[in-house]
Amino acid sequence: VTCSFSSSPPIYCTSLSKGMKLFSLTLIQIIDGPEVWVETTDLSSTLVIAEVTTEHRGRYTVVARDRRSSAQHTLTLSVIETPQPPASCPVISSVSTTSLALSWSGPCYDGGTAILGYVVEIKNPGVAESADWRKLTDECTSTSYVVSALQAHQEYCFRVRAYNEVGISQPGPVSPVVRMEQKDFDKPQKEDPQNYASVTIDSAHKVSDDYILQEKLGVGKFGQVFKLIHKETGQVCAGKFYKGRRAKERDAARKEIELMNYLHHPKLVQCLAAYDQKPEMVMVMEFIAGGELFERIVDDNFEHTERASVHYVQQILEGVAFMHQQNIVHLDLKPENIVCVDKTGTFVKIIDFGLASKIDNTTPLKVMHGTPEFVAPEVINYEPVCLATDMWSIGVICYILLSGESPFQGDDDAETLASVTAAQWEFSEESFEEITQEAKDFISSLLIKQTMRRMTCKQALAHPWMAAFDSGELEAKNLSKEKMKKFLARQKWKVTPLYTVFGDPEAEHALQTLEHKMQGPPQFTQSLKDQTVTSGSSARLSCHLTGYPDPEVVWLRGKEPLVESPSVQIEYEEDGCCTLVISKVGPEDGDLYTCRASNNHGEVFCSAKLTVQE
């Protein structure tokens, strides 16, 4: 990478720096080495990377200075590779004697460039000559596929690979084996009635006591989601495993779980159980197999009409209306959080209440989080949020649903957020040419900067656009899916917290410098001490840790890792204090106990002997 410049020699200093992935203005000086070096002359500076890997992607800045002034230029280096495998195994539905439908989740990382399609593979495990995998198609462009011409009463399993312009991924997880027999999928669709119950957090048991842990379904900033099967009933559920070592993380998990006790409605995903199994907390939720709504819309097997769009928006409004009746605001309504109940129907639910909050009319609530294209102006301006904040997001979702375009999409996040703040948008003439005036009026009544002027959920449900759907007046004319596909391709791996866009550049730079300085291996500032306790009493072995990133801690008795139980508890405080508590010790508890702490910079141990006196 070469940058040329003109100057009056001598140039005092020239350096190339690379920006951290999420903080575009943070600079780290590049030091010459065997893999990366800088070649500088009086007229140019060249960054040489001998062998590029994905670790080299990011923003690079060249800074030049002479006696009179300085100049800099920044560019982005993208490094693409083959994608990761699809994140989940294919889910099988609509099984008949000779056909079935498959659907799956895309890869967690697309390799830095758009996924072009999927390869679907099949195996017949019951037939010896068909024991190898064979390709069904390599031209599937969505995350679902209908398989036909299968043999009745035969067993099959499936797997999927993703590919981009670089190449093809490894295969994803294998589906369960399915036997080709007619299932009863032809009854008229109706929503299953739900039984609601308030959930209390169970600290006495672990999720593994009641559920069988299956494959990973997804990863988020909170932690991970796994598929679970209830040991007694066989019910399939989803387990949200929160990182919970810090008090702040545990409080956030507890808040979401407690908040969901107020959200008993068929359009809102339900919490079924919760466990506090230190250091993790787990929320068990109903399993929703249908995938994201927008992914469903671009599937070639489903029609996309204005009439269908009204049906989806109506359901979103019904769920949000119930939340607003409880004075709860979602604060993160976006396409990824609207999911289909199953793979064939048109019922949807709202998910992810991690940012939701109860509105207290006596204490204004201000937040600085959300997704740039869907967040309301009052959030960006750090003004109090209200129930109308969700209504703005519904307006954006509706605009995209009908046009495949975002009303505020800018060339970068700063431009997008500036458009949101100014509430500057218009209907694209081409995209809204065949959309009814009622739909445009519906959107216009939501995308208003003044919160008091936005429609409420009750008003939105009574809007003429909704009435037109109920009366069957809307035409079932198919809408183009091409722009929606492009929108999804742009959005797929784009995650930009608001503070990275609107944070003060100097402050961000200082924060990242501190982050760099904080890096270090684990160290014990206070080690374990030998203890002698009486049989039947409690023992507490405490030590104090430092290190960044936060060390992972494992306790050992002798050489065996300790597992928490009603009589053995592990406490990890935010200040680094780590304590092993053994209640009602007996002679068998006398042993050497070790605390092992590790992070990516190193590993340390400290030990103490516990003596139990009769």
- Catalytic residue IDs: 332
Buried-exposed string 243-263: b where 16+ CB fall within 10 A, e elsewhere: bbbeeebbebbbebbbbbebb
Q: How far apart are CA 333 and CA 396, in angstroms?
A: 10
Burial of 477 (0-12, 13-18, 19+ CB in 10 A): exposed
Q: Residues 5, 7, 9, 12: is their CA dihedral positive or negative?
A: negative
Long-range contacts of 241-244 (CB under 8 A, 24+ apart): 241/280, 241/281, 241/282, 242/280, 242/281, 242/282, 242/283, 243/279, 243/280, 244/276, 244/278, 244/279, 244/280, 244/281
Q: How does DSSP classify residue 362?
A: T
240 marked as binding residue? yes
Q: How far apart are CA 46 and CA 52, in angstroms?
A: 15
Q: Which residues pair with 283 in a beta bridge?
A: 240, 274
Q: Residues 512, 513, 518, 521: is their CA dihedral positive or negative?
A: positive
Cβ atoms of residues 465 and 436 within 8 Å: yes
Where is 413: in which H helix or E strand?
helix 413-422
Structure tokens at 363: 């204490």
Q: How far apart are CA 299 and CA 141, in angstroms?
A: 8
Q: ∠ CA 315-265-320 to the nearest 5 degrees?
A: 50
* CA distances in angstroms from 538 to 450, 526, 535, 558, listed in the order given: 60, 21, 8, 19
- What's the first-to-final CA gap in the chain, in angstroms? 74
Q: Which residues contact 298 (CB under 8 A, 6 or more apart)?
A: 142, 304, 481, 484, 485, 488
Taking only Cα atoms into account, the Rg of the chain, rounded to an integer number of angstroms, comes to: 28
Q: How far apart are CA 335 and CA 295, in angstroms?
A: 9
Cβ atoms of residues 359 and 386 within 8 Å: yes
Strand runs labelled E in 204-327:
211-220, 223-230, 236-242, 271-277, 280-286
Mapping DSSP onto H, E and C, the string for 482-513 reads HHHHHHHHHHCCCCCCHHHHHCCHHHHHHHHH
* CA distances in angstroms from 462 to 307, 438, 449, listed in the order given: 16, 12, 22
3-state secondary structure of 287: coil
3-state secondary structure of 264: coil
Q: How far apart are CA 229 and CA 214, in angstroms?
A: 7
Binding residue numbers for ATP: 240
Binding residue numbers: 240
